[in-house]
Amino acid sequence: MRKISALVAIAALAAVASSPSPSAAFGLRIGPFHLGIPFFGYRHRHHVPHGLRDEASLKTAPPSQRAAGPQAAPAPSQGLMSPLLYPVLALPAVYDEIFSQSPSAPWPFSYDAILQTAFARTAADQNGPACPQPSRQSAVFERIRAEIRPTGNQLQQSQKLAGALGFAADYLTKACPSEIPQDPAARLQLMEWQVEKLAEALDFVRPPLQELEQSLNDAQRAFLAALPLTHREGHRLYVHANAWAPAHWGYIQGPIEAELSLRRTDARITICGHTHIPAIYGMSPAKPAVGHTPAIGVAVPLLRSRHWLCTIGAVGQPRDGNPAAAYALLDDVSDTLTTVRVPYDVESAAQKIVAAGLPPRLAARLHLGR
């Protein structure tokens, strides 16, 4: 029975892995937005009578908590922080599809991910990590609201969407397993159950998102369609995420991504945000890009013999471990970039976040600069 159950779970998960991740909700492309989130095809198009629990309740214990026997000893591990086990970790990749059909984050339910997670070796006596905390749902809502500029009834629809995003995150947090089984078959069953939880959570988000999209007027649609993704001034390119695919929002995480971006533009200097972390990458002809963290208050020369990519940090939410606001000064005469940090009353800002009804973790992270 264990083998049969494992095969059923593999079949169900394979349907997720083999599905492209289209935003099948309504798939309307409007400027930088592709207002949709993916369906998990197996849940809506496949019938697997012994494997899927179509109306599973959060009060029902996941397979890892129901499995008994010596071969199913739990062993949670930091090495198993996979979206297949903790579906709240999948939300960034899923929410990327609200803005683009080609999300920047890798699809977290590939065949490789399924097999690696199922057969990963872990220490049997290792304590499980705390359940990952959801992130980005408030940023997703704020970005949509800033660009759509809701009016009239759309204000109420926007609040419904914000509530649905928060509810979905809480739903997945409650579905967090207390233990991860060692046995691959039992782990596959847990993974199937967790993917089902993610599909159910997205069902809360899809209707209000679709309602908001359908309420857009002609002026709002035209505004979104006309938004530029880049700005060019002479030899300088300004882009939020990167130059290789501005609409896909990929992060500059190091020299590899910086070089990819630099090779996709003839601009000598590229200025980016997105990461919320100050960094400077330089690339000489026929050599790979190299990067460093700029010293605060030091004018770094951007030599004209090289191409440069600079991520300038963030005023509103620094993520480099320093809570001070970050920005940069670009001198286009001397060709230098100076990183500036400005301490501010973090506690007051955090209190205002909580008072506005936003998630408390957004206030807490200001103190950490993360």
Per-residue pLDDT of 308-365, as tens digits, reads 999 999 988 888 999 999 999 999 999 999 999 999 999 999 898 888 777 787 788 8
Quote the pLDDT of residue 232: 94
Choose the final residue of a domain: 171, 194, 221. 221
- CA distances 144 to 5, 34, 161, Å, are 42, 11, 10
Single pTM value for the model: 0.53
Do 217 and 255 fall into the same domain? Answer: no
Q: Is residue 156 part of a domain?
A: yes
**Pairing outcome for strands 290-292 and 230-233:** unpaired
Do 9 and 122 fall into the same domain? Answer: yes
Do 267 and 130 fall into the same domain? Answer: no
Q: Is 146 helix (H, G, I), strand (E, B) or coil?
A: helix
Entry field: residues in the chain: 370
Choose the final residue of a domain: 197, 221, 245. 221
Choose the final residue of a domain: 202, 221, 240. 221
Q: Is residue 359 part of a domain?
A: no
Read off the tokens for 361: 């973790």
Read off the tokens for 173: 């947090």
Q: Is residue 354 part of a domain?
A: no
Do 199 and 235 fall into the same domain? Answer: no
Helix (H) or strand (E) holding 292: strand 290-292
Rounded CA gap, 26 and 16, in Å?
Answer: 19
CB atoms within 10 A of CB 357: 9
Tens of pLDDT along 7-25? 444 444 444 444 444 333 3
CB atoms within 10 A of CB 165: 26
Do 189 and 129 fall into the same domain? Answer: yes
Do 73 and 134 fall into the same domain? Answer: yes
Q: For the chain, what is the domain count?
A: 2
DSSP 106: P
Q: Is residue 355 part of a domain?
A: no
Tens of pLDDT along 231-242? 999 999 999 989
CB atoms within 10 A of CB 285: 7
Q: Is 266 helix (H, G, I), strand (E, B) or coil?
A: coil
Which is it for the CA torsion 22, 23, 27, 29, positive or negative? negative
Do 234 and 184 fall into the same domain? Answer: no
Do 181 and 150 fall into the same domain? Answer: yes
CB distance 276 to 314 below 8 Å: yes
Read off the tokens for 35: 């207002």
Do 143 and 250 fall into the same domain? Answer: no
pLDDT in tens, the chain (370 residues): 444 444 444 444 444 444 444 333 333 344 445 555 555 544 433 332 222 222 333 334 444 444 333 333 333 334 477 888 888 887 777 776 666 555 445 566 777 888 888 888 765 544 445 566 665 566 777 777 777 788 888 888 888 888 888 888 888 888 888 888 888 899 998 988 888 888 888 888 888 888 888 888 888 888 877 878 899 999 999 999 899 988 888 889 899 999 999 999 999 999 999 889 999 999 999 899 999 999 999 999 999 999 999 999 998 888 899 999 999 999 999 999 999 999 999 999 989 888 877 778 778 888 888 8
Rounded CA gap, 278 and 326, in Å?
Answer: 8
Residue 99 sits in which domain range?
2-221
DSSP 78: G
